Amino acid sequence: MQTSPFDLSGKVAIVTGGNGGIGLGMARGLAEAGAAVAVVGRNEAKSIAAVAELQQRGAKAVSVVADVTDKAAVAVMVERVRRELGRVDILVNNAGINIRKPPHALSLEEWESVMKTNLTSAFLCSQAVHPAMKEAGHGKIINIGSMMSIFGAGFAPAYAASKGGIVQFTRSCAVAWAADNIQVNAVLPGWIDTDLTKRARVEIDGLHERVLARTPAARWGAIADFAGIAVFLSSPASDFVTGTAIPVDGGYSIMG
């Protein structure tokens, strides 16, 4: 019998921010497709709950507590995954935060905190897994951008800069590591119902309705919408796909 091009049996995935929101939606997809998953986050209780859920689905899963902005912690995290799960085939750079302020009100500390969490962390984690992927002769890296990888936003200058940067970082790694058979792609979520956007919906007057009005699919995204793209970009089905930035947005980005 031929194996499915979407089969991830025997593969090991690291999902940063895999303990909730979009990261958990992706972790569930990867686990369903057969991958073992390392859930990385700072909140151990949340990570342990996510791991228990993935294990209930029949997957091998471990929680690794790490702050992905910390180079030393990232090195220890990757080492632990290699020791406990044996290899690293897939990295999802999903951890992210936003601080909603216009550029004139944002402090340097706030700017750096967003840039470090959303962009520098992807650099640190990608660099840390590269030796294992190169040695194995293959690898898949998925970086999470945003609609703000494409559009500007007056209330999110650091966030938009970090998410624009992640697309160019994705393209650069895709070129640099093509010879190592490592495919690097970005996913650009539209407006998704998670902890990150719950506050925005309350704080930004009319946001909920504006998103609905602009989204052809006429709904907010759900974390389950990210299982399929995670599996596709992690599997042999995408072996000739690299350096792309794929919107998963219900059509938000194609509305004029």
Q: Are 226 and 26 within 8 A, CB to CB?
A: yes
Q: Is residue 195 a contact residue for ligand NDP (CB under 6 A)?
A: yes
- Least distance CB 155 / ligand NDP (angstroms): 14
Specify the length of the chain in residues: 256
CA 165 centroid distance within chain? 14
**Pairwise CA distance, residues 83 & 144, whole Å:** 26
Q: Are 50 and 127 within 8 A, CB to CB?
A: no
- Count of Cβ atoms closer than 10 Å to residue 107 Cβ: 10
Half-sphere exposure of 198 (CA within 13 A, CB side): 4
Instruction: Rule CB under 6 A: choose which of 8, 14, 17, 215 binds ligand NDP.
Output: 17
Query: Two tokens at 217?
Result: 């699919």
Instruction: Rule CB under 6 A: choose which of 4, 7, 32, 42 binds ligand NDP.
Output: 42
Between 29 and 41, name the residue whose CB sits nearer to ligand NDP. 41
Q: Is residue 78 a contact residue for ligand NDP (CB under 6 A)?
A: no
Binding to ligand NDP in span 123-182, by CB under 6 A: 144, 146
159 included as an active-site residue: yes
Q: Is residue 43 a contact residue for ligand NDP (CB under 6 A)?
A: yes
Instruction: Rule CB under 6 A: choose which of 8, 13, 14, 16 binds ligand NDP.
Output: 16
| Contacts with ligand NDP, residue ranges (CB under 6 A) | 16-17, 19-23, 40-43, 46, 67-69, 94-97, 117-118, 144, 146, 189, 191-192, 194-197
